[in-house]
Amino acid sequence: MNAIIIDDERPSIEVLTYEIQQHCKEIRIVQTFEESTAAQSWLIKNQIDLVFLDIMMPRLNGIELLKLLQPFTFQVIFTTAYDQYTLQAMRLSAIDYLLKPVDTDELKQAVRRAHEMNRLRNAYERLHSLEHNILPNQSNKKIVVPTTMGFEYKLLNDIFYFEADANYSTLHLMKDKIFVTKPLKEMEELLTPLGFHRIHHKYLIHLNQMMRFNSKEDEVVLTNHVRLPVARDRKAQFLDRITI
């Protein structure tokens, strides 16, 4: 896997580079950056598999950098001396979160996970292509859902709706919900031919799970009794689709 290191401290870059060269032979460091803005420009123009990213940097910190680059396809391992950013890091799909000074065993474990995620991502993309191009009309089947921990297979008929969550989305099942590392727009493009409909900028529902539409309140009631609003600008298209 090709990787870059972004850290405003040159000694940290040199130590991490040495650790990777000694213990993670599957990783090739192709570039290092001490300025996050320079890294931003490079990442816009180049493909990479993995980014080792410091958080506390001047001008543009690591979390701000990732937000500007969304949606991105590379894996991310945060390297930082601070631990108060763990939740934000995980919500940005970080593979791992390593505290400085980086422990060798933790580094090797994080790299193994990144390698496995890269393999799974390639498998997901192949399956996504198969579903979208070859099997567009089969509704009673499983789909692959990308998550922060990897991928999960879910039966379409077990899904009630997706909810937008910034540049990601949340999948709602009967008794569970899953944080999905894809924006609602991408889920809409994949699932609209399979019986789903975008009723609101926040909601993509499974029409098979709709119990009724309340025209007075402009809301749908799903079979799990969840009530969701239908946006005014989407109502006509929604009614065209559900009306016989």
pLDDT of residue 225: 94
Q: pLDDT tens, 67-107?
A: 888 777 788 888 877 665 554 544 455 567 787 888 899 89
Q: pLDDT tens, 107-162?
A: 998 888 887 776 655 544 444 444 444 344 444 577 888 887 778 888 888 999 99
CA distances from 91 to 85, 179, 227, 239 (A): 10, 9, 26, 35
Rounded distance between C-alpha atoms, residue 14 and residue 4, angstroms: 12
Place of tokens 């493009």: 189
Per the structure block, which two tokens stand in for 186?
């991408």
Strand partners, 165: 168
Residue with more model confidence, 65 or 121:
65
Collapse the DSSP code of 124 into the 3-class scheme (helix H, G, I; strand E, B; otherwise coil) and give the result: helix
Of 114, 116, 113, 86, the C-alpha closest to 98 is: 86
Angle between helices 36-45 and 62-69 (to 10 degrees): 20
pLDDT of residue 86: 53
Residue-wise DSSP of 125-136 = HHHHHHHHHT-T
Residue with more model confidence, 64 or 134:
64
